[in-house]
Amino acid sequence: MDLTHDHKVLEGAQATRRYFAKFARINEHLKEVTKLSKKEKLITTPEATILQWYLEGLSTTFTALSYKYLMANRVGDHSETLLNIDKRDSGFPVFSETLQMAADALQAKEHLKSLPSQERLKKDMINHILTERSAPTKLQYAMSQRIYYEYLNSEKLFLSQNDPQVIWTGSQKRGQRRKYLIYWAKYDSESNVPQVYLMEIQDSGKKALPKDERRWPRVQSHLMAQSMSSLKLLTIARGFDRDFPNLHPKMLRRFHIGPMYSHKFTEQHGPLRDVLADAAGEPGLDWALTWTIESLVSQKTTSEKTGFFSSAEREVYAIDKRDLEAQDKGVSDIRRSLILPHRAYQVLEEKNHPSLRGIRKYVVGNNSRILSY
């Protein structure tokens, strides 16, 4: 299926700069929302720490992209110098942008060796201005690419795939299972939205999972392969439970960081369209970002026969049969939040649309203070 009709090319440097400036502010607000969510006990301290770490990576990634496209349409009219975003269901750069960034990151050191230093480029730009009496656009482009690759050389990047890592959380007391928190993230190729996963597991294996060269690489590969927005958490958890008999997934959580809606950059449908249109009078106040948390929790275990003389422990997950959405999504709980500026929140409250009443709102005040409603 061709999804390019949902893509939007940001024409020119000015639009690109406004776009990344908007996202830079939103990302800072997200960090504050994470702190507030922890304070309100909506997420745990380890979850907040992990989310902050990924948000830092997302910030670095977007800053890098902003330099890559800093000179958009100023060094020729080649389409490869323009940024593509998902204008309909995401508001984020399209997945191919993160794939290209991952490829560029592998060659960052080689590019940095071939490019002049920032100091040299600055001197050359000054000489060009004094002698040629014109804007040194080609040198400015070289500088932007130099800074882009410097950011790619950083370890803090949110790429298309961010492999699973593990934290020990349990006791090593005799007879008790080891407990771990596994976390990983993906830039989802279907939704063009960053997603963060966390899984609490108990380990009944003989060897500690992070040191088990037979299980841990398989666990990492399995989780990355199963991390798609189209897969229900129940499907992911059950598949993991069956494929790893000595690992018992007690909780699985998925954070959707987006979509981002903006009257300037995206096409909205439904009640948010009118809200953002009415709030678009003042610069920088025409956006909203959704923040969704899906959770799946084990309520008990059962024994399943796996052979003539063998059986395996299986998790039974808590899903309310009376909750049609929970049944459909394969989750125990789903919480949706909306992060938006105060002006947009005022318009939203005035319109009082039924579909947005039950959603938690994080409102950014004029002083950037976040309030929760």
Which of 152, 181, 200 corresponds to the end of one domain?
152
Please give the span between the terminal C-alpha atoms of the chain, in angstroms, as a whole number: 39
Instruction: Name the most confidently modeled range: 9-18, 66-75, 84-93, 264-273.
Output: 84-93
Backbone angles phi, psi at 14, to 5 degrees: -65, -45
Residues 262 and 362 in one domain: yes
pLDDT of amino acid 172: 62
| In the predicted structure, residue 318 carries a pLDDT above the cut 80 | yes
More confident residue, 312 or 317: 317
Angle between helices 45-68 and 13-39 (to 10 degrees): 170
pLDDT of amino acid 4: 57
Backbone angles phi, psi at 215, to 5 degrees: -100, -45
pLDDT of amino acid 80: 57
Nearest to 59 by CA among 13, 26, 32: 26
pLDDT of amino acid 3: 52
Structure tokens at 332: 């125990």
Percent of the chain with pLDDT over 70: 95
Residues 110 and 210 in one domain: no
pLDDT of amino acid 277: 82
Report how many domains make up the chain: 2
Q: For residue 205, what is the DSSP state?
A: S
Which of 117, 152, 187 corresponds to the end of one domain?
152
Average pLDDT estimate for 113-139: 93
Confidence of residue 328 (pLDDT cuts 50, 70, 90): very high
Residues 215 and 290 in one domain: yes
Q: Mean pLDDT across the chain, nearest whole number?
A: 89
Nearest to 260 by CA among 327, 314, 340, 199: 340
Residues 107 and 171 in one domain: no
Contact (Cβ atoms closer than 8 angstroms) between residue 341 and residue 289: no
| In the predicted structure, residue 284 carries a pLDDT above the cut 80 | no
Q: Which of 288-297, 301-310, 326-335 has the lowest mean pLDDT?
A: 301-310
Contact (Cβ atoms closer than 8 angstroms) between residue 138 and residue 75: yes
Note the pTM of the prediction, 2 decimals: 0.91
pLDDT of amino acid 292: 94
| In the predicted structure, residue 1 carries a pLDDT above the cut 50 | no
Using H for helix, E for strand and C for coil, what is the string for the chain? CCCHHHEEEECCHHHHHHHHHHHHHHHHHHHHHHHHHHHCCCCCHHHHHHHHHHHHHHHHHHHHHHHHCCCCCCCCCCHHHCEEEECCCCCCECHHHHHHHHHHHHCHHHHHHHCCCHHHHHHHHHHHHHHHCCCCHHHHHHHHHHHHHHHHCCCCCCCCEEEEEEEECCCCCCCCCEEEEEEEEEECCCCCCEEEEEEEEEECCCCCHHHCCCCHHHHHHHHHHHCCCCCCHHHHHHHHHHHCCCEEEEEEEEEEEEEEEECCCCCCCCHHHHHHHHCCCCCCCCEEEEEEEEEEEEEEEEEEECCCCCEEEEEEECCCCCCHHHHHHCCCEEEEEEEEEHHHHHHHHHHCCHHHCCCEEEEECCCCCEEEC
Residues 211 and 186 in one domain: yes
Contact (Cβ atoms closer than 8 angstroms) between residue 360 and residue 373: yes
221: helix, strand or coil: helix
Residues 197 and 115 in one domain: no
Domain range holding 98? 4-152
Nearest to 306 by CA among 231, 264, 245: 245
For residues 345 and 285, give the distance between their C-alpha atoms in angstroms, rounded to a whole number: 10
Per-residue pLDDT of 70-93, as tens digits, reads 887 776 655 457 889 998 878 999
For residues 227 and 112, give the distance between their C-alpha atoms in angstroms, rounded to a whole number: 33
Which of 82, 117, 152 corresponds to the end of one domain?
152
Query: C-alpha 130: how far from its chain's center?
Result: 45
Residues 175 and 59 in one domain: no
Residues 111 and 42 in one domain: yes
Residues 229 and 270 in one domain: yes
- Across 47-160, where does the E strand assignment appear? 83-86
Residues 283 and 202 in one domain: yes
pLDDT of amino acid 5: 63
Residues 103 and 183 in one domain: no
Confidence of residue 166 (pLDDT cuts 50, 70, 90): very high
- Kindly give, in sequence order, each residue whose CB lies less than 8 Å from that of residue 181, ignoring residues fewer than 6 positions away: 46, 166, 167, 169, 198, 199, 200, 201
pLDDT of amino acid 353: 82
pLDDT of amino acid 9: 85
Residues 147 and 174 in one domain: no
Instruction: Name the most confidently modeled range: 55-59, 273-277, 281-285.
Output: 55-59
More confident residue, 307 or 160: 160
